Amino acid sequence: MRTGASVSPLIRIGIVLICLASWVAAAQGGGKVAKPQRLLDPRTSWSPTKIPWSNEKDLSAVARFCAERGLAIDDRGDGAMRVRLCGGAKLTDLDLGLKNSDKALRLLDEWTGCNSLFVIRPLAPQDVYWVVIFATRAQIDDWIDWCRQHKLLAPPEGGVDLAKACQGFTSIRTTYGHIATIDPLWDCKSVYATSCMAVDAYFYERSAIAPSWIREGLAAELQLMICGRVGVTSVAYALKDKPDSLGWGSIIAQLIRKRDRQIRPASELMRTGLSGLPNLSYLQMWSLCRSLRTSQPSIAGPANPFARLINATANGMASEAAVAEVYEATEPRLSTVWQQWALKQK
C-alpha cells in the first residue's frame, strides 16, 4: 500500500501537520549544549526526572472548555495511550489505533531493554498519553483561541498561525486535532503520536529536546513494523516529494552504491534538525537510527546500548559523544559501519 492511498493531498497535509509534537523540537537537532561526559554507570538506576511532565493541566482545560461550549466528552481506552473524543467526534476504527499504540510502546520498551523509560509502572493517570480529537475544524480553532485567551498556548509568531494551519498542536502528553485530518490515517497517526509523545516526555522531563534522528527515526521504524508503511511524518518533511516508505532501505542502499552526494555523514545527520531538511535526509535519519538500534544483541536492563544512548542524550550529551561512548564508534568509522549495514537493506 502506498503512503496516504485514497486520501486527498489536503487531508494528507492536514494529518502530517498536526503530528509535530514540538515546533521547537523540529527546528533543532536535539540535546543540550554540553561538554562530553561519562555516561551513568549502567548498573545504576536511570537519572531522576527533573520536571514533572503531567497531563493533568491539559485534560482539566479540555474538560472546562467542553463544558463551557456544551460539547460532549467521550474518553476511550484503558492503556498508556487513550483517546478523548470531543463534540461528537467518532473514529472509524478507534480500537485499531489503541492496539497500535500499545504495540508501539511495547516495542519501544523491548528495544530499550525493558527499563520502562516511556511507560512507568504502575501507570499513574497523569502519565497517560492522550490524543484529543474534536469533531470539526471550527471546534479545534475555537479550542486554540480559548487556550490563548487562558495563557495555555503561545500567540502565533510571524504572519502564520501554525496551530491553526496545522489544525492542532501538541502539549504535555497530549496531542490535539480534529477528526477529518486524523481518521484517514489513524493507524499510522496513533503510532506516530504515541512514539513522539513518549520520547518527548522522557527528554522534556530532563530539560532536554530529543535529537531529531532518534525521535523521527523511531516513529518511522515503528510505523513500518506495525502498519507496514510510514503514513505520518514531521511537518518539516510532510510536503517533500518523498518516495514510498516500503522502499526506503533499498533507496538508501542505491544512493550509497552510486556514491550519491545526497548521502550525508552519520555525524552530520545526528546534528541536523528538521527545519529545511533535504529530501532524502529523513530516510537517512531513519536508517541510521535503525542501524544502531539493531547493531548489538538486545540486552535487558540498564546495560542495554540503545537505552544508554537515549539516557545519555536526554541528560545533556551530544549524539556524537553518546554514540562514541556506547557504541565505540566515531567518524569516519561510524559512517563506514552504518553505510556497510545500509547496503544490505531492502
| pLDDT of 202 higher than 50 | yes
Residue with cell 473524543: 85
The arithmetic mean of pLDDT across residues 232-258, rounded, is: 75
C-alpha cell of residue 138? 471550527
Within-domain flag for 3: no
Within-domain flag for 120: yes
Contact predicate 96/185, CB 8 Å: no
Query: Which range among 3-12, 64-73, 274-283, 291-300 shows the weakest confidence by mean pLDDT?
Result: 3-12
| pLDDT of 192 higher than 80 | yes
Within-domain flag for 5: no
Residue 37 to residues 112, 124, 272, 327, 328: CA-CA distances in angstroms?
Answer: 21, 33, 21, 15, 14
Strand partners, 306: none
Higher per-residue confidence, 37 vs 156: 156
Q: Hey, CA dihedral for 188, 89, 152, 162, is it positive or negative?
A: positive
Q: How many CB atoms lie within 10 A of CB 278?
A: 12
The pLDDT, as a whole number, for residue 161 is 86
The arithmetic mean of pLDDT across residues 214-224, rounded, is: 95
Report DSSP letters for 195-245, one per residue: HHHHHHHHHHTTT----HHHHHHHHHHHHHHHHSS-----HHHHTS-PPPG
Biggest distance spanned by C-alpha atoms of the chain: 61
Q: Three-class SS of residue 6?
A: coil
How large a percentage of the chain has pLDDT more than 90? 63
Q: In terms of DSSP bridges, do strands 73-76 and 170-171 run parallel, antiparallel, or are they unpaired?
A: unpaired
Q: In terms of DSSP bridges, do strands 81-86 and 129-134 run parallel, antiparallel, or are they unpaired?
A: parallel
| Structural domain harbouring 290 | 14-342
Within-domain flag for 4: no
Which parts of the chain fold into alpha helices (H)? 9-17, 23-26, 56-69, 94-111, 137-149, 162-165, 179-182, 186-204, 212-227, 235-238, 248-257, 266-271, 281-293, 305-314, 319-327, 333-342
Half-sphere exposure of residue 305: CA atoms within 13 angstroms, side-chain side: 17
The pLDDT, as a whole number, for residue 245 is 60
Q: Hey, CA dihedral for 174, 75, 105, 216, is it positive or negative?
A: negative
Confidence grade of residue 342 (pLDDT, cut at 50, 70, 90) = very high
Within-domain flag for 268: yes
When divided into structural domains, the chain yields a total of 1
Which of the 8 DSSP states describes residue 20?
-
For 141-187, write each residue's pLDDT tens digit: 999 999 999 999 999 887 788 889 888 888 889 999 999 999 999 99
For 130-153, write each residue's pLDDT tens digit: 999 999 999 999 999 999 999 999
| pLDDT of 2 higher than 50 | no
Query: Which range among 156-165, 209-218, 318-327 shows the weakest confidence by mean pLDDT?
Result: 156-165
Q: How many CB atoms lie within 10 A of CB 186?
A: 25
Confidence grade of residue 247 (pLDDT, cut at 50, 70, 90) = confident
For 82-99, write each residue's pLDDT tens digit: 999 999 999 999 999 999
The arithmetic mean of pLDDT across residues 240-265, rounded, is: 83
Within-domain flag for 322: yes
| pLDDT of 232 higher than 50 | yes
Q: Three-class SS of residue 51?
A: coil
Which of the 8 DSSP states describes residue 183?
G
The pLDDT, as a whole number, for residue 182 is 95
The pLDDT, as a whole number, for residue 47 is 56
| pLDDT of 306 higher than 90 | yes
Query: Which range among 32-46, 54-68, 246-260 shows the weakest confidence by mean pLDDT?
Result: 32-46
Within-domain flag for 60: yes
| pLDDT of 15 higher than 70 | no
Contact predicate 217/126, CB 8 Å: no
The pLDDT, as a whole number, for residue 145 is 96
Within-domain flag for 1: no
Sheet of 170-171, strand order: 73-76, 81-86, 129-134, 174-178, 170-171
The arithmetic mean of pLDDT across residues 10-16, rounded, is: 36
Contact predicate 111/293, CB 8 Å: yes
Q: How many CB atoms lie within 10 A of CB 303?
A: 13
Which of the 8 DSSP states describes residue 50?
S
| pTM for the model | 0.85
